[in-house]
Homo-oligomer: A and B are copies of this chain.
Amino acid sequence: MPNPTAAMLVIGDEILSGRTRDSNMHHLAGALTGHGIDLKEARVVSDHAPSIVAAIRALSAAYDHVFTSGGIGPTHDDITADCIAEAFGAHIDVRADARALLEAHYARTGQELNAARLRMARIPDGATLIDNPVSTAPGFIIGNVHVMAGVPAVFEAMVASVLPTLTGGAPLLSETLRVDRPEGEIAAPLGELAARYADLSIGCYPFIRNGQPGANVVIRGTEAARVAAALDDLKAALD
């Protein structure tokens, strides 16, 4: 059976303006690969409601799971929860369970649960809360969409909460062979290997280091014996 598929949606002007370099996509990609879920697509959109709604609808229909990051804080540019509600045609308001979490947190820390912070308790009807062990304000799951925070420490904690609840397939195994030759010289044997091992994914990732071209050949698959056999054949072919 093929592995479940997933997409990620990163929400935030700061990534698209070049101000911030996203790290959540890289983190999620590694976590999903280890869990046997295939990340098939990622998108980054700005804090623009129609763009968020359209992306959620497209990705939710195309993949088994969708993971979002960003836009669930207390400020005016945090519009993700309302956009998700719109995408699912769900009613959204401050919800008692989320409000109770925030009330307890702010009472404990001696801070005020003001109107802005209360926005973080806006959760669509029918959604399940995602625990936030770092700063309390929860994420949520509605349909096949997991809505999580943009701050990397919080995002990573939410991924750790959510992933064990999802059924993964066989984890993807990979072997990498670094070849200090230009990829143009190894392309022919590599193409033959890829044709012979059609059940594996064989990628060639060129680099330039100290002015010298080289390539990492990565062999990916779910059966350890097949991956090992392909690696042996690759080494023999390049000798």
**Could you list which residues of chain A lie within 8 angstroms of chain B, going by C-beta atoms?**
12-23, 25-33, 38-48, 51, 73-78, 111-112, 114-117, 119-120, 134-135, 150-151, 153-154, 172, 174, 176, 182-188, 190-191, 194-195, 201-208, 213, 215, 218, 220
Contacts and interface: CB of A to CB of B under 8 A. Distances in A.
B174 A19 contact: yes
Contact of A13 (B51, B111, B112, B203): B203
Given A41-B51, A75-B187, A150-B206, 16 more contacts: A13-B201, A15-B26, A16-B29, A16-B38, A21-B23, A40-B48, A41-B45, A41-B46, A43-B44, A74-B183, A75-B186, A75-B215, A76-B191, A76-B194, A111-B182, A151-B208
B17 A172 contact: yes
Most chain B CB inside 10 Å of its own CB: which residue of A29, A112, A202, A213: A29
Nearest to A120: B184
A184 to B, nearest CB: 4
Contacts of A18: 26-33, 39
A185 B113 CA distance: 9
Contacts of A207: 151
Closest 3 CB pairs of A and B: A116-B187, A18-B30, A18-B29
A23 B30 CA distance: 16
A40 B16 contact: yes
A188 B111 contact: no
B40 A43 contact: no
A125 B114 CA distance: 61
A184 B20 CA distance: 21
A169 to B, nearest CB: 14
A137 B211 CA distance: 16
Contacts of A194: 76-77
A183 B17 contact: no
B17 A29 contact: yes
